[in-house]
Amino acid sequence: MTDIYVELGSKKAIAWSLEWPGWCRIRTSEAAAVQALVDTQGRYRLIAQRAGLEFAPGDLVVVERLAGDANTAWGIPSVLASAETRPIDTLTAQRHVALLHASWDLLEEAVASSPAHLRKGPRGGGRDRDEIRRHVIEAERAYARKIGVRNPPFDVNDPTRLKAMREEIAAVLSKPSSGEPLVAGGWNASYAVRRMAWHVVDHLWEVEDRRS
């Protein structure tokens, strides 16, 4: 059995797992969002396997429903569950970071094996491959400030700078934490790793879906 949390907004429902950062789906209703989690178990299993973890979620049980905010309406998970304010031990923190690392690696591999121009949506929209990657990295640089990691803008194709930033993020999130924000006005570790992993996985699956 896996605990699931649902963030409910006026237009969107976001279902996600605290235990498995990045396993998160956004739909127009709770039922559809939870079903989307069920439908993506096989895809998320590849991330867990890359992290060296066994993924056998069993039944999904909604344990908390959260009132969404303005971000929810845009399909951005932004509301903390009550369980996310609890302390995190070293083992849990390192497990979460292993899943984040796996997500990073799989996105880089998907980008490397995909055409530069991805299939457009029904209205002709959607970023191409390199734009998606740039968007993920630049968002990550902004997210990192929420945990006290600051980097000036850099060329996303500079592997040294990208590796250094991600190593800083991983180092912070690998430590045990109290459940409080890591910096004033910032995020706590549980939400930070969930938000970062969600964004990477969401775009990983977008690249995979739109390259065919």
Q: What are the pLDDT digits (tens) for 136-153?
A: 999 999 999 999 999 999
Kindly report the number of other CB atoms within 10 A of residue 179's CB atom: 15
3, pLDDT greater than 90: yes
pLDDT at 181 over 90: yes
pLDDT reading at 123 higher than 70: no
8 Å CB contact between 15 and 4: yes
- pLDDT band at residue 125 under the 50/70/90 scheme: confident
Residues 60-88 pLDDT 10s: 999 999 999 999 999 999 999 999 999 99
For residue 35, pLDDT over 80 is answered with yes
Which amino acid, 52? G
pLDDT value at position 212? 76
> What order of strands is seen across the sheet that includes strand 24-27?
24-27, 13-16, 2-8, 60-67
pLDDT digits 0-9 by tens, 39-53 = 999 999 999 999 999
Categorize the per-residue pLDDT at 121 as very low, low, confident or very high, splitting at 50, 70 and 90.
confident
At residue 124 the predicted structure's pLDDT band, cuts being 50, 70 and 90, is: low
Average pLDDT of every residue of the chain = 97
* Model confidence pLDDT, tens digit, residues 160-179: 999 999 999 999 999 999 99
CA 117: distance to chain centroid?
24
Distances (CA, A) of 140 to 74, 98, 115, 156, 157: 18, 17, 23, 11, 14
* Cβ count near 149 (within 10 Å): 22
Residue entry with tokens 């191409």? 128
- Structure tokens that stand for 180 in this block: 């409080």
